[in-house]
Structure 1
Amino acid sequence: MIDLIPLSYEMLRVIWWLLLGVLLIGFALTDGFDLGIGALLPFAAKTDAERRVLINVVGPVWEGNQVWLILGGGAIFAAWPPLYAISFSGFYLAMLLILVALILRPVAFKFRGKIEDQRWRNLWDGALFIAGVVPSLVLGVAVGNVLLGVPFRLDETLRAHYDGHFFGLLTPFALLCGLVSLSMIVAHGAAVIGLRTEGVQAERARIYGRYAALTAAVLFVLGGLWATFGLDGYTVTSVQDTLGPSNPLRKTVATVPGAWMNGYALRPWTMIAPALGILGCVLAFVGMTMRTWRVALTGTSAAIVGIISTAGLSLFPFLLPSSVQPNASLTVWDASSSLLTLWTMLLVTGFFLPIILAYTAWVYRVMRGTVDAESIGRNPNAY
């Protein structure tokens, strides 16, 4: 059966690396504005009526948007088992923190309207704020730690041992990456608020969104300079078999200052990614300044694509570098599932992904339009 597979093992590994990036970007583009609106809830909306407007912007779509996160986790589990095992066990408390925050969101949606008491509703609005800020920040911190290298090692049986702890994740560079992520998501949420609402909420969102877009651009540039001049990157120093079995210990790896930038010199076209990240932030800032919300949303979307792509392209071919045993670092070439598994999953993905995209497009089309207090009053299913 393997002989009938039309794609090589190397090609399938690259395809699944690209698909993982697509799923992560899909999550940031869709559920990202949900998180951003949650983070802006106390600032863009001051009264209960204003907060209901913002909540009902995301209310009909947040569950569907979260599918992208589930798909991303499933892709890691199926296509990159060592990556799933080490990252989810090493980042266990961080992942649990994200999970608790995401669980708070549906609970807050359901419970805040059950009692007509402002203190009760403020409590759940605070939960929505936490559910927006925590995942946005922690996911960025996780990416920062991947760039720094994760303290894990493999024994001769390929059994992983994690030597770090939760507070060890909170290094200055990782926190900078977390702030890039948070500001990017807040700007994205602000653009959607401006597009879907009117009046005072849109104006407040414009103010905070401009600051967030500018902050994302500045911190992204600072992060790039830090990675270039102040950070040790990883490079494979042996000839790696891109068609061989998945065994991370079959290569040698060295840490070299600024090595994360080497890929841009070898593949100049990849400079499109950081350029898109910066230009997207600038476009978002200009769009919000001029109150042209479609331009602002295009800018925040471009920034998300560019910033996430920059992280992925900088790391390639690494998936999870090891700071304590560099030779055990996981790469695209030695941490994947088997050839048959990757091919079977690609066929399944090729069938279901277009369905998900079509469904998502249909939902957004149905739920388009301005959300205001009057439209909420006409809808018995509003939050």
Structure 2
Amino acid sequence: MGIVDYEILRLIWWLFLGVLLIGFAIMDGFDLGVAAQLPFVARTDTERRVAINTIGPVWDGNQVWFILGGGAIFAAWPTIYAAAFSGFYIALFLVLTALIIRPVGFEFRNKIADTRWRSFWDWALTIGGLVPSLVFGVAFGNLLQGVPFTIDGDMRIFYDGSGLFELLNPFGLLAGLVSLFMLVSHGSVYLAVKADGPVRDRAVLVQTVTAPLAVVLFILAGLWLAAGIPGYVIVGEVITNGPSNPLLKQVLVQDGAWMANYAAHPWMWAAPALGVLGPLLALALVRLDRPGLGFIASGSGIFGIISTAGLSMFPFLMPSSLAPQVSLTVWDASSSERTLFVMLICTLIFLPIVLAYTAYAFRVLRGRVTAAQIEHNPTGHY
């Protein structure tokens, strides 16, 4: 295009991909976290309705981040999209099933005033929050270990994995638990902001457990990654503005390679530091009855944890454990220069609209959800 260099466009879309994933984790993550802990924070129907009504009006707007993320991968990184849906097909099917169950639960649970009916949909909402929170982390854990795929000379992708249970390996499960506790803790902070009474009190107790667990498991995953999981490194000349052909490079698998970026750029240590300090600061702020600031701190922790994984892997997006030389990177898995430029213009127009609408919606819906409000409106939507 000549206006923006192809290399810069690729970097911009790598950053945008990170922004969308982090935006999804922060915005949709808190309602996934609330749903996942529903049986623990709410023991009566009124309490469950209090918890559900804190997220019921906003969950569908938060899903926009998930849709934008999927669309960005499809349009900006089509090879990643194809390889991911081959390698993580069953896992993504589980996620989509859970995400489909969730809106049905929101819409149906209050249609019939029957204990068994509502209990069924409450558990459906819990599963709809629990499964995506765990599986997204498992996917990141497997990306860091390499995915068993190859690419032939005609650019056809072949996945040679054994399915879901292969993804549920020890490190993948550890990453999944980091994600789960991170989002449950985030949901607890949100309940501390929006709920009242016993629901809020139990959410604070849940955060007391899940925030330190998320930090401890995050540190454990980092130590495991540094000492026990080989990373990937491009050898020879790196072509940053050439054609999107992952076959035109040489890649070696080396111990400790995932830590090389931190050695070369010490400022990157800010990401894991934020991943550790954010949840702990959120815990302290909630205890000091400053849950609004705690929510910001919790979101900062999510930013740090996800950024740590992205910075560790850069420039790799999807390493191949079978044929490292075909691993997909920022420099060889993107769409054309024209496509990235047109998408950039569209993003610069529409992303501020999404942000403005989100801010407006949360401003309109500000305030706590109380048991008195629920009891005053027993036939409310949620």
Partner of 2:42: 45
Number of residue pairs matched?
Answer: 380
Contact 1:210/1:284 (8 A) holds in 2: no
User: C-alpha displacement at 1:88, in angstroms?
Assistant: 1.1
Q: Which residue of 1 aligns with 2:196?
A: 198
1:232 touches 1:259 (CA, 8 Å); kept in 2?
yes
Q: What amino acid is aligned across from residue 228 of structure 1 in structure 2?
A: A
Counterpart of 2:152?
155
On the 8 A contact 1:206/1:291 being kept in 2, the answer is no
2:121 equivalent to 1:124: yes
Note if contact 1:136-1:185 (Cα within 8 Å) is conserved in structure 2. Answer: yes
CA deviation digits over 1:53-96, x for unaligned, max 9? 01000011000000100000000000001000000121111000
Tell me the secondary structure at the aligned position of residue 249 of structure 1.
coil
Q: Which runs of 4+ in 1 moved over 2 A?
A: 287-292, 373-382
**Paired position in structure 2 for 1:180:** 178
Deviation at 1:30, TM superposition (A): 0.7
Aligned to 1:6, the other structure's residue is in SS state coil
Alignment match, 1:358: 356
- CA distance in 1 between partners of 2:221 and 2:288 (Å): 28
Q: Which residue of 2 aligns with 1:65?
A: 62
Q: Does the residue aligned with 1:93 lie in a helix, a strand or coil?
A: helix
SS in structure 1 at match of 2:153: coil
Distance 2:348 2:49 in 1: 38
Separation in 2 of the partners of 1:382 and 1:292? 30
1:179 and 1:219 in contact (8 A); partners too: yes
Q: Distance in 1 between matches of 2:183 and 2:29?
A: 6
Name 1:12's counterpart in structure 2: 9
- 2:92 is aligned to 95
Shift of the alpha carbon at 1:199?
1.4
| Alpha-carbon distance in structure 2 between the residues aligned to 1:364 and 1:289 | 23
Q: Which residue of 1 aligns with 2:303?
A: 305
In the alignment, what sits opposite 2:223?
A: 225
Which secondary structure does the structure 2 equivalent of 1:21 belong to? Answer: helix
Query: CA-to-partner distance for each residue in 1:30-61, whole Å, 9 max, x for gaps?
Result: 11000000011000000000000010000110
Q: Distance in 1 between matches of 2:177 and 2:198?
A: 26
- Structure 2 matches for 1:19-34, cutoff 5 A? 19-34=16-31
- Output the aligned Cα RMSD: 1.1
Read off the aligned partner of 2:206 and give its amino acid letter.
Answer: Y
TM-score, normalised via structure 2 length = 0.98
Structure-1-length-normalised TM-score:
0.97
Following TM superposition, by how much is the alpha carbon of 1:282 offset from its aligned partner in structure 2, in angstroms?
A: 1.3
Looking at structure 1, the residues matched to 338 and 380 of structure 2 have their Cα atoms a distance apart, in angstroms, of 46
Deviation of the 1:102 alpha carbon: 0.5
Structure 1 gap segments, 5+ residues each: none
Structure 2 residue corresponding to 1:35, chosen from 27, 32, 36: 32
Structure 2 distance, partners of 1:182, 1:326, is: 30
Q: Distance in 1 between matches of 2:230 and 2:299?
A: 30
Give the Cα–Cα distance (whole angstroms) in 2 for the partners of residues 19 and 189 of structure 1: 24
Q: CA deviation at 1:252?
A: 0.4
> Paired residue for 2:334?
336
Partners of 1:381 and 1:8 in 2: how far apart? 54
Equivalence map 1:241-320=2 (5 Å): 241-320=239-318
Q: More displaced, 178-187 or 275-284?
A: 275-284
2:213: which partner in 1?
Answer: 215
For residues 193 and 10 of structure 1, what CA distance do their matches in structure 2 show?
43
- Distance apart, 1:240 and its partner CA: 1.6
